Amino acid sequence: MALSADRAYPAASGARWEDLPRPHVAVDTAVLTVRLDADSSRRDCVQVLLIDDTVRERMLPGGFLLTGETLEEAARRVLLAKTGLRSRQLEQLRTFDNPERDTRGRVLSVGHLDVVRYDDLVESITELNDAHPERQLVLEDVDEFLEDPRSLPYDHALIVATAVARLRADAQVRANPFGLIRDGFTLREFRRVHEAINPELGLSKDTLVQRYRDEFEPLTDEPISDGSRGRPARRFRWRTAEERDDALRRRARRSPSRDFRYSTASSRTDRKTAGPQNDATGLAEDIDMEALQEMVELFKLQSAVRRPPTDFLRWLRDADSASNQSV
């Protein structure tokens, strides 16, 4: 679509480099955490760190890109200056470029995500709030900002929503999303963190343990009491990458290997006609398990960056069907 005369590209009329429009570039970071309620008076939830001063509205910690800085350097500088946090796992989300997002002029914002354990974040907030009472750091539940995109200025609610979606995607493919769960956790704490991030997932403790059984192991053979009433809970620690590989190899040796082949279009039609069956029947025997594992890894990668995963075998059948149609 052609631009109107008043919005035509300046270079087309022979404009010089210095005459081109120069929008400002900002960096805004959504710092997320998961709060587990100690006495069950409130529900577990994901929270976001906001700056609340007496002059302006609540907002994400953010600032402008300076000459000679990369976006990551700017985001780290601003986060340290405004919150006292030294990010260890800063992740760039995307650019937010609504022309009307800032009333002060044309400002592009590059949103970032940082995820911090709750106790570490509260400690940093307390220290900074004591030092700067005129500008308070607060933790707020993300639900309000997911429901109303106008609840924060400068498209910050949209940045929060994008950050939460990224955290949820990571939690669906990783046992310990962004390292939120420390060593010494109980299975109940493990499930509560995942339920707080993905409240609609509805996974039982047994399902989570089965899915991630190679990721952790008991700290000791005997349960350790945490001082609460009732039977003491067993505590666990995360395995290292080498320990996970060893656990996978041991389980592979115990389980007989099977080969698979893709089902034909006619057999898929027959299954639909016959009614619902087990998802595993979507694959018959003839494909090497190594190739299937590559598909699993591709599925996890696509799930993490584009959409939350559903059922792998159903996804695999859909991908195969689309491939056959394109041919």
Cα angle, residue 65 at apex, residues 60 and 66 outer, rounded to 5°: 140
- Residue 129 CA, chain-centre distance (Å), reads 28
Q: How far apart are CA 137 and CA 53, in angstroms?
A: 8
pLDDT band at 50 (very low <50, low <70, confident <90, very high): very high
Q: How far apart are CA 215 and CA 218, in angstroms?
A: 11
Which helix (H) or strand (E) is 206 found in, with range? helix 205-211
Query: Which pLDDT score, from 0 to 100, does residue 222 have?
Result: 60
Average pLDDT over residues 114-143: 89
Q: Residue 310 in contact with residue 180, Cβ under 8 Å?
A: no
Query: Which pLDDT score, from 0 to 100, does residue 52 have?
Result: 87
> What are the pLDDT digits (tens) for 145-198?
888 888 888 999 999 999 999 999 999 889 999 999 999 998 889 999 999 999
Which residues, listed in sequence order, are joined to residue 139 by a DSSP beta bridge? Answer: 49
Residue 317 has pLDDT above 60, yes or no: no
For the chain, the residue count is 327
Query: Which pLDDT score, from 0 to 100, does residue 292 have?
Result: 58
| For the chain, the helix, strand and coil percentages under 3-state DSSP, each to the nearest 5 | 45, 20, 40
> What are the pLDDT digits (tens) for 232-266?
778 999 988 888 888 777 776 766 555 556 666 66
Domain boundaries, the chain: 21-174, 181-255, 257-327
In the chain, what percentage of residues exceed pLDDT 70? Answer: 67
Q: Which two tokens stand for residue 28?
A: 């805004």
Q: How far apart are CA 116 and CA 49, in angstroms?
A: 10
> What are the pLDDT digits (tens) for 257-309?
555 566 666 665 665 565 544 444 444 444 455 555 555 655 554 444 444 44
pLDDT band at 3 (very low <50, low <70, confident <90, very high): very low
Q: How far apart are CA 35 and CA 42, in angstroms?
A: 10
Query: Which pLDDT score, from 0 to 100, does residue 308 have?
Result: 43
pTM, 2 dp:
0.70
Query: Which pLDDT score, from 0 to 100, does residue 230 have?
Result: 58
21-174 architecture in CATH?
Alpha-Beta Complex (3.90)
Q: Residue 47 in contact with residue 164, Cβ under 8 Å?
A: no
Query: Which pLDDT score, from 0 to 100, does residue 170 have?
Result: 92
Average pLDDT over residues 16-34: 88
Q: How far apart are CA 6 and CA 140, in angstroms?
A: 43
Residues 6+ apart with CB under 8 A from 7: none
Residue 2 has pLDDT above 50, yes or no: no
Query: Which pLDDT score, from 0 to 100, does residue 51 have?
Result: 92
